[in-house]
């Protein structure tokens, strides 16, 4: 087999694999979109895209007085923005300290972060329930934000610390020679250079409250405090009113704020990739 034929075969296999993965990812999305445009409440349909397209389910979500969808959307946005904002700030400070300073207990702290990443959050559900009850934040969005921000610290700190470690320490020394203090080095030198990895942290932490179901299920009890994942579950869990088409319509709309944040942070993500590719 000559090199040209082998190269074409490899390219064909790559495109075949990419097409297969696109089918796996795209088919459920197209089916959900078609179900959201279908009349009635059944999840079964003869065609993926209905013959008689209807936007009645989207209209119901926003206009019907019995719909709490806008309240759930607002709650999810509040939790997502707060989680993203505080996670970025806290993670940046922690990662900077562990990356640039040597102090007593540093190694044990890193090991603790590493160990905490190995255990799923569901193992701490009972402790979370008791803790939020003790501090009066059970069935409260602030309690959910506290759990999200605290639970993401170990993974985020390791991620950002690894990025800080790749930045040369000569930049810190040069800034200190010019009269910059510790905070000056952090805010003026390292923080601008760490924008790509902090954009990743912000995006991941913004997405979590929109797609997570387990933690809100444990922390929240009142309908007016539900997030989207928890509220939409009611559409398919009602004893006499399982409505899969409204569930599909509400699920499709979840992608809107995530897509907006991704487009807003895209330039930081791309700059991080290009910077990593040119660093030598």
The answer on 113 and 249 residing in a single domain is: yes
Task: Give the contacts of 193 (CB within 8 A, at least 6 positions apart).
Answer: 167, 171
Q: Is 193 found in the same domain as 241?
A: yes
Q: How far is Cα 159 from Cα 245, in angstroms, rounded to an integer?
A: 39
What pLDDT, on a 0 to 100 scale, did the predictor assign at position 138? 92
> Are residues 261 and 204 in contact, defined by beta-carbon separation less than 8 angstroms?
no
Q: Tokens 């309690």 belong to which residue?
A: 143
Based on the domain organization, do 46 and 73 belong to the same domain?
Answer: no
Domain boundary among 59, 78, 106: 59
Across the chain, how many H-helices and E-strands are there? 13, 0
Are residue 203 and residue 180 in the same domain, yes or no? yes
Regarding whether 72 and 55 lie in a shared domain, the answer is no
- Predicted confidence at residue 78, as pLDDT, reads 96
Same domain for 131 and 41: no
Q: Domain of 220?
A: 68-278
The reported pLDDT for the residue numbered 118 is: 80
Residues 175 and 123 in one domain: yes
Closest CA to 228 of 66, 86, 70: 70
Q: Contact 92/164 with Cβ under 8 angstroms?
A: no
- Residue 71 structure tokens: 């309240």
Residues 185 and 231 in one domain: yes
Please report, for the domain that includes residue 271, its CATH number. 1.10.3720.10
Interacting residues of 112 by C-beta distance below 8 A, sequence separation 6+? 154
- 110 and 13 part of one domain: no
Angle between helices 228-237 and 244-278 in degrees, nearest 10: 150
How many domains are there within the chain?
2
Regarding whether 47 and 158 lie in a shared domain, the answer is no
Q: Select from 16, 31, 59 the last residue of a domain.
A: 59
pLDDT per residue, tens digit, the chain (280 aa), is 577 788 888 888 999 999 999 899 888 888 888 888 887 766 666 667 777 788 888 888 888 888 889 999 999 999 999 999 999 999 999 999 998 888 888 888 888 888 887 877 778 888 888 999 999 999 999 999 999 998 888 889 988 998 898 888 888 888 888 888 888 888 888 888 888 889 989 999 999 999 899 899 989 999 899 999 998 888 777 644 567 888 888 889 998 898 888 888 887 776 654 443 334 3
Same domain, 161 and 246: yes
Place of tokens 């796996």: 24
pLDDT score of 45: 66
Looking at the structure, tell me whether residues 14 and 133 fall in a common domain: no
Q: 58 and 73 in contact (C-beta within 8 Å)?
A: no
């Amino acid at each position: 087999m000559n090199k040209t034929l082998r190269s074409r075969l490899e390219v064909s296999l790559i495109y075949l694999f990419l097409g297969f993965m696109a089918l796996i990812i795209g088919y459920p999305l197209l089916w959900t979109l078609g179900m959201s445009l279908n009349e009635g409440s059944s999840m079964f349909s003869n065609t993926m895209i209905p013959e008689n397209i209807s936007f009645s389910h989207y209209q119901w979500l926003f206009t019907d007085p019995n719909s709490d969808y806008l309240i759930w959307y607002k709650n999810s946005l509040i939790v997502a923005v707060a989680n993203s904002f505080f996670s970025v700030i806290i993670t940046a400070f922690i990662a900077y300290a562990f990356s640039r300073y040597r102090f007593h207990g540093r190694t044990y702290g890193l090991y603790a972060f590493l160990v905490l990443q190995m255990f799923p959050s569901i193992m701490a559900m009972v402790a979370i329930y008791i803790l939020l009850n003790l501090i009066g934040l059970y069935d409260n969005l602030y309690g959910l934000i506290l759990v999200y921000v605290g639970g993401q610290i170990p993974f985020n700190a390791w991620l950002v610390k690894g990025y800080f470690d790749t930045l040369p320490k000569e930049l810190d020394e040069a800034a200190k020679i010019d009269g910059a203090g510790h905070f000056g080095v952090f805010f003026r030198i390292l923080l601008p250079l760490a924008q790509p990895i902090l954009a990743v942290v912000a995006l991941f932490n913004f997405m979590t409250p929109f797609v997570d179901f387990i933690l809100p299920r444990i922390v929240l009890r009142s309908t007016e405090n539900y997030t989207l994942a928890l509220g939409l579950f009611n559409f398919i869990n009602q004893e006499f009113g399982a409505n899969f088409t409204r569930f599909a319509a509400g699920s499709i709309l979840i992608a809107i704020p995530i897509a907006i944040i991704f487009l807003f942070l895209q330039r930081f993500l791309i700059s991080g990739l290009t910077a990593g590719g040119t660093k030598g």
